[in-house]
Every structure is written in structure tokens, then in C-alpha cells.
Amino acid sequence: MTQPLVNHAVVLAERPRGLPNSATWRLEERPIPAVRAGQVLIAVRECSLDPAMRGWLDDRPSYLPPVGIGEVMRAMVVGEVIESQVDGLTIGTWVLGALGVQEYAVARPSGLTIVDPQLGTPTEYLGILGTTGLTAYFGLFEHGRPRAGDTVVVSAAAGGVGSVVGQLARISGTRVVGIAGGSQKCAYLMDELGFDAAIDYRSGDVRRALRKACPAGIDVYFDNVGGEILDDALANLAMGARVVVCGAISQYNVDPDGADPAQRTVSGPGNYLSLLVRRGTMSGFLVFDYADQYATARQRLSGWVKSGAIVARQTVVSGGVQDFPETLLALFSGENVGKLTLRLESG
Amino acid sequence: MTQPLVNHAVVLAERPRGLPNSATWRLEERPIPAVRAGQVLIAVRECSLDPAMRGWLDDRPSYLPPVGIGEVMRAMVVGEVIESQVDGLTIGTWVLGALGVQEYAVARPSGLTIVDPQLGTPTEYLGILGTTGLTAYFGLFEHGRPRAGDTVVVSAAAGGVGSVVGQLARISGTRVVGIAGGSQKCAYLMDELGFDAAIDYRSGDVRRALRKACPAGIDVYFDNVGGEILDDALANLAMGARVVVCGAISQYNVDPDGADPAQRTVSGPGNYLSLLVRRGTMSGFLVFDYADQYATARQRLSGWVKSGAIVARQTVVSGGVQDFPETLLALFSGENVGKLTLRLESG
């Protein structure tokens, strides 16, 4: 195969305050480095878009170093090996890796996961079988620890992680309540994903709605949003409740210079003392810590998708790397349903 | 013994907003009910004063029902049985119980703990051998789970609970850092209680001081204060840290009508997302849940006091029940060191 001459990549041009905008990113043409012994060249076919990406843009210590100015934007992608200097990793193999928002990447095999078509498609390796599904699986099972009969509440319930959490909770024998924005998403949770109740946070008092939907209190609250909804859940905990801190999308675009004082700093949960009253636990986790159990989790998740026990909806946007900035914003506007990816037609 | 004719009690006159004041309480003379079969009459000798008392005054659901308007203020007390209609519970026996701020109480034995003079004095049964010491013991050991080599940080470290937490952490082989107000308290932590470091929150940036005192991060943070200091600790967590929510004295006197907007609602920890980054856990607990293990804990705590491994300082104010309102305020002004009790001279 003839090596392509040029790579297009999305690089970080400047750190955003609040939501990323046109000044945040720069599209660059870059030469493709030669493939050395022990490396492969991968044509990127599809990029994952994740709320966590926003956090990677801030220059502060976190679980991963921030993306540097001028560096290719970090992203999980799937792609096809088009040149190989690695024994046993042949041209045409599909792989998953953190290769960034670009058309081509040179990589060593250590950071790559080979896509097993018996388990799922490459697109599914970015969703239910990727960080998204694994985050739901380990967050719920290791930290939420649902028991049959429990009431499990999940926020951003129609999103990539939330929709899997709710369904895993359902097949664990719990009563599942989802919080999402808009009647359409709520109908989706009830009709297609089999939730027991859905709360539209745009149409009224979430705290009261939770009290009604969870008469015995919340045993497990899986939080993807933070802010007021986290406080509403804390106000409704059952004894011994587990609060799983997975994300806080309502707080990711805090802008220290913004017009609204309430949006200038991260808002902490004022109701955290109900952890004391209800003998509750709030714990954070990162999926990477469970890497040694990914294989088992992928097998199970794949089985549930095949049996129909889990519906793993993905929203696939077709385009080029230049469409990444706009596509990312769909995660923060609340319009997206399911796992969001960008398929590179040019790739 | 002749039955006393009258009982003096402190009753709740009106619910405070912010700090309790003179309108909060009313001193009442009450007749003493006849002692029926299965009951004892107790002359109260000493009352415990606890930060948690503030929470009992608010009319909202919590781990105990609020003290009702016109009811005797709830308090743990020690006293002497002066009349008995219970076989085996003889006159002259000292007991511990939640009998309230009053001079005499009629009670059934089920809610009473007999003071074992082999273990400690009645005063110690209100402190190191009472709710205070037991809260430190179960909070630290069950929720903090210290391992030798860990760094343990405790706030309100010179107070009743905090001073025991720090010493239990020290004898567990950890590095102990206390946060307290004023250089005198800090000197006390270092010189008398054997802390490894002490941070005076009144003299500078606690976050920076914690970073310096805990170069490898905080493994266990035992929080008695909430507010900014909780956020400062969250900003310095080690991987897998345990944050124990025992209290939040900085937030107990929130006044919805107060002059300072920042003090009108409970301030939640804006840095709670470091639980995610550091894979931490924040858990609340109540000592009552461990009642079946109190006997073992009392034995151990008593042993440590006798061996000198734990210094259990108590501040005993002498007076009458009428001195309760003013004595209580010492807990919130930050002037108190060690466990605070009110000894009834009239009793």
C-alpha cells in the first residue's frame, strides 16, 4: 500500500474558558513519520467524543496530563493497520487506541486493543465495548454495588454511559430511574431501554420528582452531571446509599470570567451532609484502574448486546477531522442520545 | 432518700436561625413524675455538650427527630440512681443515658449504660468512653481504615472527637496532621498529643500548609468542620483516599436570613471531583450503628487512657442547668479544647 503523504489533525490552539470555541482548535497538516521496527501505521476510521475531553483541555493536575498547546487532541479511536513493522499485527487488522483526532497515527502495539469481530463492530469498540461501556460496567458494579430490589438512579441517562448504567442496573434486578432532558429522551428511556421511571429535568422540580419516583429512597445514585441534580439526589438517599461520581458535565465549562457568577466556580453539593444522616458513601473512580478486567467485561457486555438485553445506541456523525469541534459541542448542549462518534469518511 | 420536689430543665423555646441565643431556651421548673415499676429516678450530675446539638434544633428530617418546641433539650448525661423500681439497678449506681439537660430524669433501664468504674470515671463516660470517643473510634477505624504509613489529617483536632481521632491514628502507625485554630491549640497537638504536624487555620493558607505537611497526599481525612477546610483537604488527596464526614461545625449555624450571603446556605465541597481524580471515597456514618461493638471499643479506649497512649482532656464547666446555653456557645466560638461537659453542682 502506498503511504499517504499527509495527515490532517486537530490540535489544541488555546485553552478555552467555558465552552470550547473556534479559537480553541487548529486544523493542521502534518507529515506522517516513517514506520520503524515495532510500530504500525493506522488509518483512523472513527473517533470517540466524550464529556471527559473538556477536562483534558484545562491546565491543571488530573488523572491524565492536560493536552498541550499545539498537541493533537487526545481521543479514543478505532482504525485499520495499513502498514506494519510488528510481527503478528497484520495489515487490515482493526485496532482501538488513544491515537487522537487525526487521520493517521503511528503506534506501538502496547497501547492498542485488537478489535475482535466476534464481540462487536469497531463502532461498538468505541461505545458499549469501549471506555463508555466499561465505565458504566465498573462504576456501577464496583462502586454502586446494586442489589436486586434496590432503587438505582442515573443522570444523563440517555447519554453514552448513563444509558448503559441504567440497563445494567435493570438486568441486576433493580428499579431504575433515569434523569434526562426532554420528553423525547424520557420516552426513549422508558420505551426502548426499559427504565422503570424517567424524570425530565427541564420540566420541573427534580427533587420532588425523585421523591415520588423513589418512595423508599435512592440506594445507588450514578452521577454524570453534578450541580443541582446531584444535590437533588443527595436529598433523597436511602440508608447506606452509594453515590458514584462518574462525571459532572454541568460543571465542566465553568468560566472564571463568565457573566453568571454561579457559573464561575465548580458548585459543590451543599447536601453532602446527607451522607452522614443516611450513612452513605460517595466515591469516585476511573475506568483505567480496571484494565485487567476489561476482557471479562467486554465478553459480558457483548453477550448482553447480542441477546438484546442491552440496547447500545450510537450516534455516528460522518465527516472529517475538521468536524470534530462542532460535533463535540453536541455533548454539552444536551442534544445527543447514546454514544457519540465521528466517522472519518476521508480516512 | 426523700424525693426532691422540683426539677429544673432547659427546654427549647424557639428554633434558632444561626447561632442559638437567649430566645432559644427557657428554664422551666417541672414536677418529677412518680417512679413506676420498671423505672429508676436519676439525679443528673453532668451533661455532655456536643456540636451535633445544633442540628437537633432544626425542624428537618435527620438521623434523630428534632427536639420539639417545649421539650427538654436532648443531651447525653451521667447521673446517679436515687430511686429504683428495677431489680438489680440499685440506688447509688452511676449510669449514662440520653436524659436531657435537666436535674432529674425518670428512665427505663433499656436506654441506660451502667458506668463501670474499672473502665473510667463518669466524666470519662461522657468523653473518651462516651459518644465522643466512640465516634472517633468507629469513624476512624470503620471508615478511615488507616494503614501504618498513611497520612491522616483531622480537623477540629483539639476538640473532643478530633483529639481522639488523631491519637488513635498515631497509635495505628500513621503520620498525623491536625488542623486547629490558634497557636496554643497547635502547640497542644504537637506537645501533648504527639501529632506529627499541626496547621493553624487562622494563620494562613490551609491548602498550601496541607500540601507542605502531606507531601505524599492525604490518605485519610477525618472532617469535623466542612466548608473551606474540607475543600482544602480534597485538593490534597492521595490516591484511594478516604474522607470521613463526621461533622461540619462551620456550617451548622447557617442562617437563611443572615447578613452574609455566603452563610445563608450550607456550602458544599466544590472540590468533590478530586474523589474521581484520586479514586477517593467520602462516607458518612453515625456512631449509633456500632452499638453492638461499644463494649469492645470502651475496653480498648480505657486501656489506652490508662497506659497513657491517649490523653483524654476534658473541659468541665461547673454550674447549673441554667448555664447550658452559654456553655454550648463555647463549641462554636472555637475556644474549647477537648471534650466539653457541664457539671451540675446543684444535682
pLDDT value for B2: 58
Segment A144-154 shows an average pLDDT of 96
Quick: pLDDT tens for B261-289. 767 788 899 999 999 999 999 999 999 99
Chain B from 135 to 164: CB within 8 A of any A CB: none
Answer whether A6-127+313-344 and A131-289 agree in fold: no
Percentage of chain B with pLDDT > 90?
86
Confidence of residue B26 (pLDDT cuts 50, 70, 90): very high
Quick: pLDDT tens for B277-327. 999 999 999 999 999 999 999 999 999 999 999 999 999 999 999 999 999
pLDDT value for B118: 97
C-alpha torsion sign, points A239, A240, A246, A247: positive
Quick: pLDDT tens for B90-117. 999 999 999 999 999 999 999 999 999 9
Tell me the C-alpha distance between A298 and B212, whole Å.
Answer: 43
Residues of A in contact with B62 (CB under 8 A): 277
Residues of B in contact with A232 (CB under 8 A): none
Nearest to A268 among B246, B272, B279 (CB): B272
Taking the Cβ of residue A280 and every Cβ of chain B, the question of whether any pair is shorter than 8 Å is answered with yes
Confidence of residue B3 (pLDDT cuts 50, 70, 90): low
Tell me the C-alpha distance between B9 and B104, whole Å.
Answer: 8
Q: Answer yes or no: are the C-beta atoms of A84 and A40 closer than 8 Å.
A: yes
Taking the Cβ of residue A284 and every Cβ of chain B, the question of whether any pair is shorter than 8 Å is answered with yes
Residues of B in contact with A283 (CB under 8 A): 275, 279-282
pLDDT higher than threshold 70 for residue B128: yes
Segment B153-177 shows an average pLDDT of 96
> DSSP for B277-329?
HTT-EEEE--GGGGGGGHHHHHHHHHHHHHHTSS---EEEEEE-GGGHHHHHH
Fold classification of B7-127+312-344 (topology level): Quinone Oxidoreductase; Chain A, domain 1 (3.90.180)
Taking the Cβ of residue A246 and every Cβ of chain B, the question of whether any pair is shorter than 8 Å is answered with yes
Tell me the C-alpha distance between B33 and B15, whole Å.
Answer: 27
Quick: pLDDT tens for A316-335. 999 999 999 999 999 998 88
pLDDT value for B347: 44
pLDDT higher than threshold 50 for residue B333: yes
Among A145, A236, A273, A287, which would you mutate to test the B interface (most chain B Cβ atoms within 10 Å of its Cβ)? A273
Taking the Cβ of residue A235 and every Cβ of chain B, the question of whether any pair is shorter than 8 Å is answered with no
Asked whether this complex has an ipTM greater than 0.90, the answer is no
Quick: pLDDT tens for B184-229. 999 999 999 999 999 999 998 999 999 999 999 999 999 999 999 9
What is the β-pairing status of strands A104-107 and A339-344? unpaired
Segment A114-127 shows an average pLDDT of 97
Domain boundaries of chain B, sorted by first residue: 7-127+312-344, 131-289
Taking the Cβ of residue B237 and every Cβ of chain A, the question of whether any pair is shorter than 8 Å is answered with no
Q: What is the reported pTM? A: 0.89
Q: B305: buried, middle or exposed (CB in 10 Å: 19+, 13-18, 0-12)?
A: buried
- B167's enclosing H/E stretch is helix B160-171
pLDDT value for B202: 95
pLDDT value for A254: 80
Nearest to B300 by CA among B145, B169, B168, B127: B168
pLDDT value for B264: 75
- Tell me if A271 and B272 make a contact (CB, 8 A cut-off): no
Quick: pLDDT tens for A18-76. 899 999 999 999 989 899 999 999 999 999 999 999 999 999 888 899 999 999 999 99
- Tell me if A273 and B280 make a contact (CB, 8 A cut-off): no
Taking the Cβ of residue B291 and every Cβ of chain A, the question of whether any pair is shorter than 8 Å is answered with no
pLDDT value for B135: 97
Nearest to B301 by CA among B119, B76, B139: B119
C-alpha torsion sign, points B150, B155, B156, B162: negative
pLDDT value for A266: 84
Provide the mean pLDDT of chain B.
Answer: 94
- Tell me if A268 and B266 make a contact (CB, 8 A cut-off): no
Q: CA-nearest residue of chain A to B268? A: A270
pLDDT value for B79: 98
pLDDT value for A347: 43
Chain A from 39 to 78: CB within 8 A of any B CB: 61-63
Secondary structure (3-state) at B271 = coil
Tell me the C-alpha distance between A18 and A21, whole Å.
Answer: 9
| CATH 3.30.300.30, domain A6-127+313-344, yes or no | no
Residues of A in contact with B266 (CB under 8 A): 270-271, 273
- Tell me if B268 and A265 make a contact (CB, 8 A cut-off): no
pLDDT value for A2: 58
Residues of B in contact with A266 (CB under 8 A): 270-271, 273
Confidence of residue A4 (pLDDT cuts 50, 70, 90): low
Phi and psi torsions of B44, nearest 5° = -75, 130
pLDDT higher than threshold 50 for residue B167: yes
Confidence of residue A264 (pLDDT cuts 50, 70, 90): confident
Provide the mean pLDDT of chain A.
Answer: 94
pLDDT value for A346: 62
Among B237, B273, B290, which would you mutate to test the A interface (most chain A Cβ atoms within 10 Å of its Cβ)? B273
Q: Locate cell 490558634: which residue? A: B182
C-alpha torsion sign, points A86, A91, A94, A96: positive
3-state SS string for chain A: CCCCCEEEEEEECCCCCCCCCCCCEEEEEEECCCCCCCCEEEEEEEEECCCHHHHHCCCCCCCCCCCCCCCECCCCEEEEEEEECCCCCCCCCEEEECCCCECEEEECHHHCEECCCCCCCHHHHHCCCCHHHHHHHHHHHHHHCCCCCCEEEEECCCEHHHHHHHHHHHHCCCEEEEEECCHHHHHHHHHCCCCCEEEECCCCCHHHHHHHHCCCCEEEEEECCCHHHHHHHHCCEEEEEEEEECCCHHHCCCCCCCCCHHHCCCCCCCCCCHHHHCCCEEEECCHHHHHHHHHHHHHHHHHHHHHCCCCCCEEEEEECHHHHHHHHHHHHHCCCCEEEEEEECCC
Segment B160-171 shows an average pLDDT of 97
Q: CA-nearest residue of chain B to A234? A: B268
pLDDT higher than threshold 90 for residue B256: no
- Tell me if A268 and B269 make a contact (CB, 8 A cut-off): yes
Taking the Cβ of residue B273 and every Cβ of chain A, the question of whether any pair is shorter than 8 Å is answered with yes
- Tell me if B268 and A266 make a contact (CB, 8 A cut-off): no
pLDDT value for A207: 97
Nearest to B197 by CA among B215, B181, B184, B179: B179
Using CA atoms in the order A332, A334, A338, A340, what is the torsion angle rounded to 10 degrees?
Answer: -30
Q: For residue A68, what is its C-alpha cell?
A: 498541550
Among A282, A285, A287, A289, which would you mutate to test the B interface (most chain B Cβ atoms within 10 Å of its Cβ)? A282
| Burial track A120-141 (b if 16+ CB lie within 10 A, e otherwise) | bebbbbbbbbbbbbbbbbbbbb
Architecture of domain A131-289: 3-Layer(aba) Sandwich (3.40)
- β-bridge mates for residue B153, sequence order: B177, B221
Quick: pLDDT tens for A152-195. 999 999 999 999 999 999 999 999 999 999 999 999 999 999 99
Distance from CA of A153 to the nearest CA of B (A): 19
Q: Locate cell 474521581: which residue? A: B276
- Tell me if A284 and B280 make a contact (CB, 8 A cut-off): yes
Tell me the C-alpha distance between B3 and B149, whole Å.
Answer: 57
